[in-house]
Amino acid sequence: MSYRSFSHFLTALENAGELQRIATPVATELEITAWADREMKTPGGGKALLFERPTVGGQVSRYPLAINTMGSERRMALALGLENVGELAQKMELLMKAKPPTSLRSAWNLALQGLGLLHAKPTKVREAECQEVVLLPGEPGFETLSANPATLAGLPILQCWPQDGGRFLTFPCVHTRDPDTGERNLGMYRMQVYDGQTTGMHWQVHKVGARHGKRYYERGERMPVAVTLGGDPAYTFAATAPLPDGLDEILFAGYIRQRSVELVKCRTIDLEVPADVDFVLEGYVQPGEMRPEGPFGDHTGFYTPLDDYPVFHLTAITHRANPVYPCTIVGIPPMEDFYMGSASVRIFLPVFRMNFPEIVDLALPPEGVFHNLVFVSIKKQYPWQAYKIMHALWSMGQMMFTKYIIVVDDDCNVHNTSEVLFRLCANTDPQRDSLFTKNPTDALDHAPNYPNLGTHLGIDATRKLPSEGYHRAWPELVKLPPEVLAKVDAMRNGVG
Ligand SMILES: Cc1cc2nc3c(=O)[nH]c(=O)nc-3n(C[C@H](O)[C@H](O)[C@H](O)COP(=O)(O)O)c2cc1C
Ligand SMILES: [Mn+2]
């Protein structure tokens, strides 16, 4: 299942009873945040919101705005054209079983080159909906061109939180290319609006966009960057998915939606973008140019302070005849991004398990905001296996950032935080069962003394084996036999 446009997806949400339209004008300055935050904090994630008349500085914008479109399990599944994200996880698992990969990297490659890849390879087109309207600089001195200038000023870009440094694009899909290999990357990095033609480009040091940027700086070449908004939500999801460097998110999106992505050449830069997106911001990043970015009310629930980041210069905007502006807000969890992150974990769990078969399940609880806390359950077979899994996770892509890893036995449901805390408290001797280590740290973590450098803690909350030095008899959990439970359940149902 694929969507022809962002609107097509919104119609599907509406038909599924998952979308609320708001016709009253609502301000992009804080008010949409206040509305969406309440919706996102409704148990289960509330509904997607389509603001038909968002206002910018008191003026109704030409473009409607949609938010919280992936902020529930059901909407996340619908975004991927599925009834349930488990279907895709299952497909990945079958793929892994059909031809076991020999390494993590080959597992990823296999996942992408498998059955679905018949549909995944992108094709090229000359005519594209995303270029129905083209706002070009026309002449040199683009900034001074007034006839039909490309400017961000018309877009309903949110000022999310009171102390934010300005307006931020919060759902931008940033397309770049490795200047050495030509490999494509699609990543989601927020963009702070400085003026109608310039923004920040917040790719953190660990991300692929930043690595591509570094190569352009070293070569002293101007870096073309295309930013897309909307289109099939598979692109937006793929931009956030933690694929390893070198694996093409456009292929991955084609695999998800079982239909190849049609690409069209940009008008002012040498990059290609999906033809069916709603908006394209074409532009470049100039090597060495940095500018303070922030503050920004971030995923962590705190404001990220000012820091220097590259600058994006706009050279053109193209868009559909009737585009919808997509966005999200981040802040104190749970927010929409929790459902996106959970879908990623679910889909890629088979890849983890192929390499570390003792892993049973894995959860990133919302309180941990992705990188602070991971619960993992394992089938323990030999001594200190919990430590092996900690090291495995700390070496696996963006899992490297995880501040706290708690390992439990396979009979503990990692999606139930209360169950995990019970095991943590009951099954550990704090000193014996803790492992402190050093590893790269999420750029957003404000707790360490220095950015990007922090310690990490793994706790082994599994039951201990004699071979691990535990020579007392490990006690049994207090439980009733299933037949007694079944009988009493039947009796209780019969009462009243
Ligand atoms: C709503 C949202 C906003 C994000 N903003 C940023 C950001 O500003 N900078 C950043 O480096 N990562 C950000 N991320 C995380 C990246 O999109 C994510 O790490 C992605 O896997 C990076 O892709 P890459 O490995 O191709 O660089 C954001 C994720 C979401 C869901
Ligand atoms: Mn990538």
Closest approach atom of ligand 1 to CA 330: 1
At residue 140, the pLDDT reads: 45
Q: Note the pLDDT tens digit of each residue in 271-292.
A: 999 999 999 999 999 999 999 9
Ligand whose nearest atom lies closest to the CA of 207: 1
> 109 pLDDT exceeds 90?
no
Task: State the average pLDDT over residues 477-491.
Answer: 96
24: Cβ contacts below 8 Å, ≥ 6 apart: 53
Instruction: Give me the helix-helix angle, 233-240 and 249-257, nearest 10°.
Output: 130
Task: Taking residues 89-102, report their average pLDDT.
Answer: 75
Whether 496 shows a pLDDT value over 90: the answer reads: no
pLDDT at residue 117, as a whole number? 61
Express each pLDDT in 124-158 by its tens digit: 999 999 999 998 865 444 444 344 568 898 899 99
Ligand nearest to the CA of 173: 1
For residues 66 and 10, what is the distance between their CA atoms, to the nearest angstrom? 8
- b (16+ CB within 10 A) / e for 173-207: bbbbbbbeeeebbbbbbbbbbbeebbbbbbbbebb
Q: Of ligand 1's atoms, which has the minimum distance to the CA of residue 398?
A: 19
Residues 422-430 have a mean pLDDT of 98
231 conformational bin, left if phi > 0, alpha if psi -120 to 50, beta if neither: left
Cβ contact 401:373 at 8 Å: no
Average pLDDT value for the chain: 93
d(CA 68, CA 220): 40
The HSE-up count of residue 217 (CA atoms within 13 Å, CB side) is 13
Structure confidence at residue 460 (pLDDT) = 98
CB–CB of 112/261 below 8 Å? no
Specify the ligand 1 atom closest to the Cα of 204: 11
Query: Is residue 376's pLDDT more than 70?
Result: yes
Show the tokens assigned to 358: 């003792």
Confidence of residue 175 (pLDDT cuts 50, 70, 90): very high
DSSP assignment letter at 159: B
DSSP label of 24: S
- DSSP H helical ranges for 114-181: 117-120
From 240, 307, 401, give the residue whose CB has the most ligand 1 atoms within 8 Å, as the site to mutate: 240
Question: Residue range 464-473: average pLDDT?
Answer: 97
Catalytic residue among 248, 276, 298, 361: 298
Taking alpha carbons only, the member of 13, 41, 1, 110 closest to residue 326 is 13
- Is pLDDT of 381 > 50? yes
Summarised one tens digit per residue, pLDDT across range 214-249 is 999 999 999 999 999 999 999 999 999 999 898 899
Cβ contacts of residue 176 below 8 Å, gap of 6+? 184, 185, 187, 208, 209, 212, 213, 223, 224, 225, 271
How far is Cα 5 from Cα 130, in angstroms, rounded to an integer? Answer: 9
Query: Quick check: helix, strand or coil at residue 125?
Result: coil
Asked which of 64-73, 108-117, 369-378, 439-448 is least confident by mean pLDDT, the reply is 108-117
Pinpoint the alpha helices (H) of 158-291: 208-219, 233-240, 249-257
Q: Is the pLDDT of residue 68 over 50?
A: yes
Please report which confidence band the pLDDT of residue 200 belongs to, taking 50, 70 and 90 as the band edges.
very high
Q: How far apart are CA 317 and CA 133, in angstroms?
A: 8
Give the pLDDT band (50/70/90) at residue 95: confident
Pocket of ligand 1 (CB under 6 A): 170, 185, 187-190, 202-204, 207-209, 239-242, 328, 330, 337, 340, 398
> Is 298 among the catalytic positions?
yes
> What DSSP line would sit under 46-93, residue for residue?
--EEEESSEEETTEEPSS-EEE-TT-SHHHHHHHTT-S-HHHHHHHHH
Spacing, Cα 477 to ligand 1 middle (Å): 41
- Specify the pLDDT at position 495: 80
Which runs of consecutive H residues, i.e. helices, occur in 157-248?
208-219, 233-240
Task: Please give the Cα distance from 213 to 286 (Å, whole number).
Answer: 9
Q: List the helix and strand counts (H, then E) for the chain.
A: 13, 26
Supply the pLDDT for residue 110: 67
What DSSP designation does 103 have?
Answer: S
Q: How many beta carbons lie within 10 A of that of residue 84, not counting itself? A: 14
Cα 438 to ligand 1 centroid, rounded to whole Å: 23
Q: What is the mean pLDDT of residues 68-93?
A: 94
Is the Cβ–Cβ distance between 112 and 247 less than 8 Å? yes
Answer yes or no: is pLDDT of 114 > 80: no
> Which of 196-205, 251-260, 305-314, 326-335 shows the lowest mean pLDDT across its residues?
251-260
How high is the pLDDT of residue 96? 74
pLDDT above 70 as % of the chain: 93
Whether the CB-CB separation of 390 and 382 falls below 8 Å is answered with no
Atom 20 in ligand 1: residue holding the nearest Cα = 240
Residues 6+ apart with CB under 8 A from 471: none
Q: Which of 160, 186, 189 to mutate to test the pocket of ligand 1 (most atoms within 8 A of CB)?
A: 189
- Ranking 45-54, 139-148, 304-313, 354-363 by mean pLDDT, the lowest is 139-148
Q: How many angstroms does the Cα of residue 234 sit away from the middle of ligand 1?
A: 15
Q: State which of 169, 173, 174, 188 you would mutate to test the pocket of ligand 1, scoring each by most atoms of that ligand within 8 A of its C-beta.
A: 188
Nearest CA to ligand 1 atom 13: 189
Report yes or no: 2 and 234 within 8 Å, Cβ to Cβ: yes
Q: Report how far apart, in Å, the C-alpha atoms of 364 and of each of 44, 116, 211, 367 are.
A: 16, 28, 26, 8
